[in-house]
Chain A
């Protein structure tokens, strides 16, 4: 149980285009979903927290107009990287939690490796 599916696993796009990444909880309803970013040989950095039906909460330094997050249902959240540039190339990982994060385990997708040329 507690499977989180993330697509695509790998994407290459040209500078200036937009890319959408999907995160789905397959066998549970996710009250909260999180988006993380990871640069090579570094830890995971939280980008934003999304709750179904409300606006995402972005971490300091993360541009909300560049990284659009939509949590349309209890099983789906999307991250759209708008007008992508080479510096946006990174590994993006989503996670979902069924209960409240402070007392429930988080489950992670397999990540999306984005390369902007």
Chain B
């Protein structure tokens, strides 16, 4: 099946700093989403972005499907941004209806 690797695995930021999270995938994809999992386990949909660039407030994402990666940008980070960020993809290969999650990036934003 498709492999999804995220980097960095852990990240500590001072409040106000910017960061870039990366998601690499091993095959072509039809669907790519970014999620934020808060400390209570809730998964928050950030972006549905199989290709191109989107922005929502302090967050933006870019997917370069031909090069098999996606980036999530967080600007002016806040303590409420802390949690785990996952990208998840649906590969075009066999089993093309399954959303496979990446390894995640644990983010901690400190005052």
Contacts and interface: CB of A to CB of B under 8 A. Distances in A.
A95 B101 CA distance: 13
Interface range, B side: 20 to 34
B86 A44 contact: yes
Nearest to A46: B98
Interface stretch (B13-21, B41-49, B55-63, B68-76): B41-49
A45 B35 CA distance: 15
Decide if the interface of chain B is mainly helix, strand, loop or mixed.
strand
A43 B101 contact: yes
A107 B42 CA distance: 11
Contact of B45 (A44, A46, A107): A107
B90 interface: yes
A106 interface: yes
A36 to B, nearest CB: 8
Interface of A: 32, 34, 36, 38, 43-46, 49, 91, 93, 95, 100-108, 110-111, 113
